[in-house]
Amino acid sequence: MLAKRIVPCLDIKDGKTVKGINFVNFRDAGDPVELGAQYSREGADELVYLDITASHEGRKTFTELVKKVAANISIPFTVGGGINELKDVDRLLSAGADKVSINSAALRNPSLIEEIAKNFGSQVCVVAIDANYENGDWICYLNGGRIPTEKHLFQWAAEAENLGAGEILFTSMTHDGVKDGYANEALSTLADNLHIPVIASGGAGKMEHFRDTFAAGKADAALAASVFHFGEIGIADLKQYLNREGINVRI
């Protein structure tokens, strides 16, 4: 069985790492290059960097940041934010990223998934899905959780896989930043219906939440931000705990 992955996520705004609750109320969490290097040393399996206010000017800044990250860490990392066309993917991979994450652009133009998979390989294409639980259903959102769509989580994830996505990164907006555990029921349904890895995001507050998302949620990887950024959970400690709980992780 493949080892479960621990993935710190760094949301980047104006060149700094920030963290919010339910996608708002951001606070500064430190230098993204230093944090990434620290997580790499501590045993994180991968990192995700998201340019959460990707604008035309921001892209140049973010590309320079990606180059610095690549020079300072020794683990794979994914970048996302403002990726709308193949040249954006090429620019970020050339700067040193291993994978790209697309969200709003994929919803608006699903063929972008196919293009990335065809030109760079499925393993490069992570389709991120921000969904909120409303009236008994999971509704997908655009623009960092600001605009609801007519897409539903399970159908959209299956469509993304069919188009060539290599992984699905599912963030529950309902659980984001609340630290009450991941959306394990929805994650388990995704895992049962897909043939590609599922990354859990939104809701980590304590070590048990990671154990539960791997066991009950059947997630392949667990992404978290504030519990790592603010020193609430150490990655080495978390992996030792998971190992004791019978979860297969790289130590």
Smallest CA-to-CA distance from 201 within 8, 17, 51 is with: 8
Strand ranges in the chain using DSSP code E only, listed in sequence order: 5-13, 16-21, 24-30, 47-51, 77-80, 99-102, 125-134, 137-142, 147-152, 167-172, 198-201, 221-224
Q: Name the token pair of 174.
A: 């309902």
Task: Say whether 11 is catalytic.
Answer: yes
Write the CB contacts of 220 (distance below 8 Å, at least 6 apart in sequence).
2, 4, 5, 167, 191, 197, 198, 199
Q: Which of 11, 45, 51, 176 is catalytic?
A: 11
Smallest CA-to-CA distance from 190 within 166, 228, 218, 165 is with: 218
Phi, psi of 133 (to 5 degrees): -85, 115
Task: Say whether 220 is catalytic.
Answer: no
Measured torsion, CA atoms of residues 188, 234, 229, 19, in degrees rounded to the nearest 10 = 20
Q: Which of 45, 51, 88, 130 is catalytic?
A: 130
Q: Which residues are catalytic?
A: 11, 130
